[in-house]
Amino acid sequence: MTPPNPLSTESPHLDRVPASEIQDRITRFQQWLGDKLLDGAFLLQNVDCYYFSATLQRGVLFIPAQGVPLFMVGKSVDRARQESPLNQILPLPRHDDMVAYLTDYGHRTRLRRIGLELDVLPAARYIWFREKFPDAEFVDVSPGIRKLRMVKSDYEVRQLRRSAAVMDKGYAEIRSLLREGMTELAVDAILAGIARQEGHMGLVRMRGWNQEMPTTHVLVGPDSAVISCCETPVCGPGPSPAMPQGAGFSRIVKNQPIYIDFGVAVNGYHGDQTRVLVMGKLDPVLERAHDCALSILQHLEAVMRPGMACSEIFHAAQTISAKHGLADHFMGHGEGQMHFLGHGIGLEIDELPVMAPRFTAPIQEGMVFALEPKFTFPGLGTVGIEDDYRVTATGVERLTLTEQNVLEIWPISKNC
Amino acid sequence: MTPPNPLSTESPHLDRVPASEIQDRITRFQQWLGDKLLDGAFLLQNVDCYYFSATLQRGVLFIPAQGVPLFMVGKSVDRARQESPLNQILPLPRHDDMVAYLTDYGHRTRLRRIGLELDVLPAARYIWFREKFPDAEFVDVSPGIRKLRMVKSDYEVRQLRRSAAVMDKGYAEIRSLLREGMTELAVDAILAGIARQEGHMGLVRMRGWNQEMPTTHVLVGPDSAVISCCETPVCGPGPSPAMPQGAGFSRIVKNQPIYIDFGVAVNGYHGDQTRVLVMGKLDPVLERAHDCALSILQHLEAVMRPGMACSEIFHAAQTISAKHGLADHFMGHGEGQMHFLGHGIGLEIDELPVMAPRFTAPIQEGMVFALEPKFTFPGLGTVGIEDDYRVTATGVERLTLTEQNVLEIWPISKNC
């Protein structure tokens, strides 16, 4: 008896990467390899492999500058073959078997300049490649991959919209569930749970080494001004020094900002959104700062268009902040002040482009990024907003669905 | 006005690493460096840095073979100084500033044989070190660190007990909350939420590159026999090919196994536990296999003691499986069959030792590991059990608190 295969049941939630899109991505990457005079690239990172194969099974994807890619899969070969439109999917029980395949398929002797993902590939694997190809030169292909992944297809935008819808549902539901005295961790649990039920992956993927993030950052009052390890303006104390970010055991208090940064990935694509909620009324200092954040976002929504430099977007926000006398609070304070306003989102939550002074490249149609003007006040907390945008032919489109003001909590009741 | 510092409020949930223990870890690592004729090691991985510094702030920890460590911190220096008992904590705004510090503190010219974490350090950073120290030889120190981390102190065991208590609470609560027709994702959301409220980090840390895991694997019936990318016997289809593991949209059905693998980390230390639940009655084939898993665990509980080889523990389990005619189902089936029975747990969920044929080293007092005899039947699902053990002077102690049989769900009601 052949057992029923749970994978063959096409769930209505599935939306697989079209085969034509995989082919298109490979073709464009091969052009980039050709431009850089590379003979081919070995991709090992799970997300990069997924981008070019439509499967996240564990393996090594060899993409020659010309010709057909070889996907050598450790586990599961069967599943990779079922999910991926690639034609050459081969079992790779041991890493060393790779060399025989390359010889068999005629690639071995042609490889003089080889691409590797040097930003993420562990040193031990890099050393393995150097030993196997002692005469070859190794070049970092991550910039090429990240550049390609920066511009999203219609398929990808559809996935990002799904995540945006889940985030909106989360903020809508949490507003009626919050009570005075609830811990940040309890609020986090509810929001992460809403997202997970809707298909969120249950984790957030980051490319940056050592970077990690839970699904939400829920921080009440002064907690949202606590500086810590994250490469973001807001981090928080977390439950302990071993997890020095995000929700901890602090409790919801009236008239204090409840800062919620929500990262949701449905079918692999991350949305990233921040709202500040309040039970009662915000301190006037925070209220004015939040208005400034909102005006930054609304100004940028009106002026952003293809060709505008990422650095220009950052500087526009910085200038508005300074005009409001908020320069010292813009994107964190003191040691925690960051010099960026936004970042690309997609299969990872820390994609290109980055809206920062040293990113002078222009935004282009199809890019999707989060913009997050925020203001931090030690002892009071952080206010601001984060929304996701897609660059269109003539401007930008907001993917985030939630209203942009500070969200008031209804009903205000006690210790439920 | 100095703002209140949320970090200074000592939460009852906090249990910081004692300063004496940090000193002891460093001393033992320095002995290991000396034995390997290394002049010092640069640690960059966040978890390794935490192990030797008691803070998870982002930085580079230089531990000389002799003398005082230098912790050069990118962000946050203030928080690192507040949390860590180390004396030399220096700001590191740019990676290149490291070289000046090494010169100032007299280390630069002494470094001939340098330790790096080659299994996790990205290639680009390895290349940076090679350029800065062109005459030095680089040696992988991860085996030394992993060996040190393998044996847990009383402090560490206390943290592992906290995670065990949270897992037990999760299984106890979920038994009264499960209903027919609930999705795997909904069950996952509840369990992860219970854990998070109790202080779980909201993510699971794995050392293995490209390895990732949500807090739980909730899999109903045949889903728990689906082979996928994880280096575990059970993986599941997941919600989509972009997240090919763990809970998906399948629903709880009567008389089918509900497989729940739960990984909880309170204050950084991971517990790892599996139970099978059932609403109604299991298929007799699965029931017999579960009894076999239980008998394996009970046999091992009786015979394990310091000095027994890890490989021997694996083989004992394999032998019992074969006697029951279950060799083809032991630790997965077909392409998904794994050759290990258990693994160390601690700051990462994939620590040493590994109970596998090639690990011939003996278990020692203080080691903590999860043992997970499981049997997989395509089309039916997986049964088995996973518990955490500490090696004592004369045997083993079970850290897991939950009863070991198949958990029956009460009350059995419909579509709530």
**A231, A237, A241, A247 alpha-carbon torsion, rounded to 10°:** -100
User: N- to C-terminal Cα distance for chain A?
Assistant: 54
Reduced to 3 DSSP states, what percent helix, strand and coil does chain A have, rounded to the nearest 5? 35, 25, 40
- Residues from chain B that touch A210, judged by Cβ atoms under 8 A, are 44-46, 58
CB-count exposure of residue B292 (10 Å: 0-12, 13-18, 19+): buried
Q: What is the pLDDT of residue B11?
A: 66
- Residues from chain B that touch A192, judged by Cβ atoms under 8 A, are 189, 192-193, 196, 202
Query: Which chain A residue's Cα is nearest to B227?
Result: A76
* pLDDT tens-digit readout, B35-53: 999 999 999 999 999 999 9
Residue A241 has its nearest CB partner, among B16, B249, B380, at: B16
A119: contact with B, CB 8 A cutoff = yes
Q: What is the pLDDT of residue A238?
A: 97
Query: What phi, psi does B370 have (nearest 5°)?
Result: -100, 135
d(CA B264, CA B199) in angstroms, rounded, equals 9
Number of helices (H), then strands (E), in chain A: 10, 17
Task: Give the residue among A53, A85, A46 at the shortest CA–CA distance from A348.
Answer: A46
| Cα B206-B207-B210 angle, rounded to 5 deg | 80
- Residues from chain B that touch A89, judged by Cβ atoms under 8 A, are none
Residue A189 has its nearest CB partner, among B120, B197, B244, at: B197
Looking at chain A from residue 340 to 379, which residues have their Cβ under 8 Å from any Cβ of chain B?
Answer: 347, 378-379
Query: Crossing angle for the helix pair A19-35 and A46-53, nearest 10 degrees?
Result: 120
Query: Which chain A residue's Cα is nearest to B203?
Result: A214
- Which residues does A275 contact at the CB level (< 8 Å), separation at least 6? A171, A260, A262, A385, A402, A406, A407
DSSP B97-151: HHHHHHHHTT-GGG-SEEEE-TTTSBHHHHHHHHHHSTT-EEEE-HHHHHHHHHB
B268: contact with A, CB 8 A cutoff = yes
A135: contact with B, CB 8 A cutoff = no
CB contact under 8 A, A249 and B13: yes
DSSP A313-329: HHHHHHHHHHHTT-GGG
Record the tokens describing residue A77, joined without a space: 């070969």
Record the tokens describing residue B333, joined without a space: 């089936």
Buried b (16+ CB within 10 A) or exposed e, A377-398: bbebbbbbbbbbbbbeeeebee
* pLDDT tens-digit readout, B277-335: 999 999 999 999 999 999 999 999 999 999 999 999 999 999 999 999 999 999 999 99
- Residues from chain B that touch A201, judged by Cβ atoms under 8 A, are 214, 239, 242-243
Distance from CA of A246 to the nearest CA of B (A): 9
DSSP B287-311: HHHHHHHHHHHHHHHHH--TT-BHH
Distance from CA of A189 to the nearest CA of B (A): 4
SS (H, E, C) B40-86: EEEECCHHHHHHHHCCCCEEEEEEECCCCCEEEEEECHHHHHHHCCC
A69: contact with B, CB 8 A cutoff = no
d(CA B72, CA B79) in angstroms, rounded, equals 13
Helix (H, G, I), strand (E, B) or coil at A192: helix
A244: contact with B, CB 8 A cutoff = yes
* pLDDT tens-digit readout, B51-100: 999 999 999 999 999 999 999 999 999 999 999 999 999 999 999 999 99
d(CA A272, CA B313) in angstroms, rounded, equals 46
A220: contact with B, CB 8 A cutoff = no
Give the mean pLDDT of B24-30.
98
Q: Which of B128, B210, B211, B218 to mutate against chain A (most A CBs within 10 Å)?
A: B210
Host H or E run for residue A266: strand A257-266
Task: Give the residue among A170, A174, A172, A219 at the shortest CA–CA distance from A197.
Answer: A170
d(CA A399, CA A269) in angstroms, rounded, equals 13
CB-side neighbour CA atoms (13 Å) of B305: 5
pLDDT < 70 positions in chain A:
1-12, 411-416
What is the value of pTM for the model shown?
A: 0.96
Full strand arrangement of the beta sheet holding A70-75: A89-91, A70-75, A58-64, A40-43, A113-116, A137-140
CB contact under 8 A, A122 and B127: no
Helix (H, G, I), strand (E, B) or coil at A85: coil
Other Cβ atoms closer than 10 A to A12: 6
B338: contact with A, CB 8 A cutoff = no
Q: What is the pLDDT of residue B2?
A: 42
CB contact under 8 A, B241 and A83: yes
CB contact under 8 A, A125 and B120: no
Tallying the residues shown for chain A, one arrives at 416
d(CA B339, CA B357) in angstroms, rounded, equals 7
B415: contact with A, CB 8 A cutoff = no
> What does DSSP say about strands A113-116 and A137-140: parallel, antiparallel, or unpaired?
parallel
Task: Give the residue among A374, A362, A370, A363 at the shortest CA–CA distance from A399.
Answer: A370
A16-to-A286, A290, A359, B31, B273 alpha-carbon distances in Å: 44, 39, 33, 53, 33
Other Cβ atoms closer than 10 A to A182: 20
- Which residues does A406 contact at the CB level (< 8 Å), separation at least 6? A257, A275, A276, A277, A278, A282, A287, A290, A383
Q: What is the pLDDT of residue B1?
A: 39
User: N- to C-terminal Cα distance for chain B?
Assistant: 54
Is the model's pLDDT at B412 over the cut of 70? no
Helix (H, G, I), strand (E, B) or coil at A239: coil
Looking at chain B, the whole-number percentage of residues with pLDDT higher than 90 is 94
* pLDDT tens-digit readout, A192-232: 999 999 999 999 999 999 999 999 999 999 999 999 999 99
Looking at chain A from residue 153 to 192, which residues have their Cβ under 8 Å from any Cβ of chain B?
Answer: 183, 185-186, 188-190, 192
Q: What is the pLDDT of residue B14?
A: 87
Tallying the residues shown for chain B, one arrives at 416
- Residues from chain B that touch A266, judged by Cβ atoms under 8 A, are 239
Contact B62, B116 (CB under 8 A): no
Is the model's pLDDT at B250 over the cut of 60? yes
The mean pLDDT of chain B is 95
CB contact under 8 A, A197 and B203: no
Task: Give the residue among B176, B175, B191, B188 at the shortest CA–CA distance from B251.
Answer: B188
- Residues from chain A that touch B229, judged by Cβ atoms under 8 A, are 46, 56-58, 75-76, 79
